[in-house]
Structure 1
Amino acid sequence: MGQARSPLGVADLQRVAARGWRAPEEDRLGEWLLRAAGGFTGRANSALVVGDPGLPLPDAVTAVARWYADRGLTPAAMLPGVQARSADAAFAAAGWQRGGAVLVLTAPLGAPAAPAVAVELSPTPDDAWLVTYADGGTLPPAAHQVLTGAEDVVFAAVRRGPVAAAVARGVLTDGWLGVSAVEVDPGHRRQGLGTALLDALRGWAAERGAHSVYLQVTEDNAPARALYRRAGLIEQHRYWYRRLPG
């Protein structure tokens, strides 16, 4: 797997990940990061609860609720790891409902293998990439801003004629490769395309001096977890969302 590096702690890795998936609107509540992107993805439309909000926790919960309500969004908070227990209790006491767990997986970048199939890399997503990522649907206007808003980002695709059979997004932040938006068209699954995307992104990041990789996967996504386990990624921590009903 290459030379081992000391991993970041939960809070610092979450801050790296937040820079790799930036919302068009961001604000601060003490050390908490408030993010809004018109409802596109939980990560870009939730308060990242790491550090000190600078207020008593019940007041901070109220302030988060007001910030999202002012923007017509469902108030949401992202609570990572054991460090968020006190804040989680405060959100729960205010009636915020908890969602399922999301696993954050990490690994040293290592020596990337050559992809088994051809993978195209582009600094911007084309229409075919976006269609596959959206599973044939339509993405909201803020999606393009979130997808392309990082400092060093790349879009990977396996082509089958004019169709993108599989896509993924990579972003490089402080030596960490963040992998997201991994989608394989249902008609092209179980062909190793997900592995090829990971290999291509690892190669891209290695050329830029990256040392580690991270990604997020929901606890109930067994096929993706199996793919990432084969790729050597292991769980560093978990996070979950709390949302205010109504």
Structure 2
Amino acid sequence: MPKEQDTPLTTDSWNLIKLIERLAFRTWPAEETIECGDFVFRASQGITKRANSVWTSTGSPFPESNWLEQAKHFYERHTLPLLFHISNVSPPGLDKQLADAGYIVEAPCSVLTGETAIVIANTPDSDSSDDEWEITVTPHANSAWIDEFLLAEQFDASKRAFYEKVLSRIQPLKGFFSFKINGQCAAVATVVLEEGWAGITNVAVVPERRGQGIGRVLLHELALWCKDQGAHHLYLQVVQDNIPAWRLYTKAGFTPLYEYHYRREPLQS
């Protein structure tokens, strides 16, 4: 989880983390948002933590208002648990305050960054198997891409409407990648580009194709496309216990920049 005092951030690192957090915020726009000072309350039917949590990563102090009571009221109105998204640029002391109040840590993640040219150089430009494969990119998440995404993630159809809506709300330039082998879906991914940075999200390989090196080929194609769109820097988020993903991204040239996690309100007795 974020280290508030152990290793002070340099000014450059602080500013870069604030930038990435702001860009990442725009890659997953919630259904409803309300500002409370520089905090943002987000709600989206309770699907995904990022779209249903309080965003606090602006590098600013606490709001002057009674932000905690307002947050509780907002999430009670939506019948959702109160969840805070906390990073290294959240207000100092926020994580400790919530911990002391019994809020539980969930989903610790790391954000990795890489240079587009380095990732291209560190990944293969083709699959070595005899299978026929193709990668297509569409500017919108059409019905076929949603089908493939749900298949790769093993999500049921009840989540379809949420993903259709959240992906359609993304405003910056975006690309939805579909990787097919012998005409069958093997993997998908999303890239969102803004201010010379490309955020890589929704990377998912269908279960029967995992462990076959598809991720490296897909990552190469993603980086090539980002280069063509003028993005020289890449970032992505990895759950800290996802060892295969860590291995893939670090071999490709990504390095950790910062961490974030969520704090969930304690259960009422």
TM-score normalised by the chain length of structure 2: 0.81
CA deviation after TM superposition for structure 1 residue 52, in Å: 3.0
- Partner of residue 69 from structure 1, selected from 70, 73, 76: 76
2:243 is the counterpart of 1:222: yes
When structure 1 is superposed on structure 2, of 136-145 and 37-46 the one drifting more is 136-145
Calculate the aligned-residue CA RMSD, in Å.
Answer: 2.1
- Summarize the alignment of residues 1-246 of structure 1 with structure 2, pairs less than 5 Å apart: 8-50=15-57, 51-55=60-64, 59-81=66-88, 83-110=90-117, 112=120, 115-117=125-127, 118-125=134-141, 126=144, 127-138=146-157, 139-150=159-170, 151-161=172-182, 163-246=184-267
8 Å CA contact retained: 1:132, 1:165: no
CA deviation after TM superposition for structure 1 residue 36, in Å: 1.4
Q: What CA distance in whole angstroms lies between the structure 2 residues aligned with 1:161 and 1:41?
A: 32
Q: Deviation per CA, 1:100-150: give whole Å up to 9, x if none.
A: 420000012226357414321112332432332431522252221222322
8 Å CA contact retained: 1:106, 1:213: yes
8 Å CA contact retained: 1:133, 1:182: no
* Aligned-partner residue type, residue 126 of structure 2: A
CA distance 1:62–1:143, shift in 2 (3 Å)? same
CA distance 1:21–1:34, shift in 2 (3 Å)? same
CA deviation after TM superposition for structure 1 residue 85, in Å: 4.1
TM-score normalised by the chain length of structure 1: 0.88
CA deviation after TM superposition for structure 1 residue 93, in Å: 2.9
Unmatched 5+ stretches in structure 2? 1-11, 128-133
How many pairs are equivalent?
Answer: 239
8 Å CA contact retained: 1:76, 1:242: yes
